[in-house]
Amino acid sequence: MQIGQNLKDKIMTKFSHYQEDAKKTLHNIDLTQDKLNAVFTKAEKLNINTAPIHKVYQDILLLIQIVKAYISKEYQDIPAGSIVAIFAALIYFLSPIDILFDYIPGVGYVDDMFVLGLVLKQVDS
What is the per-residue pLDDT across 26-44, written as a single tens digit (0 to 9) for each? 999 999 999 999 999 988 8
**CA separation for the pair 123, 121 (Å, rounded):** 6
**CA separation for the pair 124, 113 (Å, rounded):** 16
Give long-range contacts, CB 8 A cutoff, 24+ apart: 112-115.
Answer: 113/56, 114/3, 114/8, 114/11, 115/11, 115/15, 115/89
Q: Note the pLDDT of residue 82.
A: 95
Q: Note the pLDDT of residue 20.
A: 96
Amino acid identity for residue 15 in this structure: F
Q: Residue 16: phi, psi to the nearest 5? A: -60, -35
pLDDT at 103 over 60: no
Q: Note the pLDDT of residue 87.
A: 97
pLDDT at 102 over 60: no
Q: Give the up-direction half-sphere exposure of residue 31: CA atoms within 13 A in the CB hemisphere.
A: 10
Q: Note the pLDDT of residue 108.
A: 65
**CA separation for the pair 100, 110 (Å, rounded):** 7
67-97 residue pLDDT tens? 999 999 999 999 999 999 999 999 999 887 6
Question: How confident is the prediction for the chain on average, in pLDDT?
Answer: 85
pLDDT at 98 over 80: no
- Look at 52 and 32; give whichever has higher pLDDT: 32
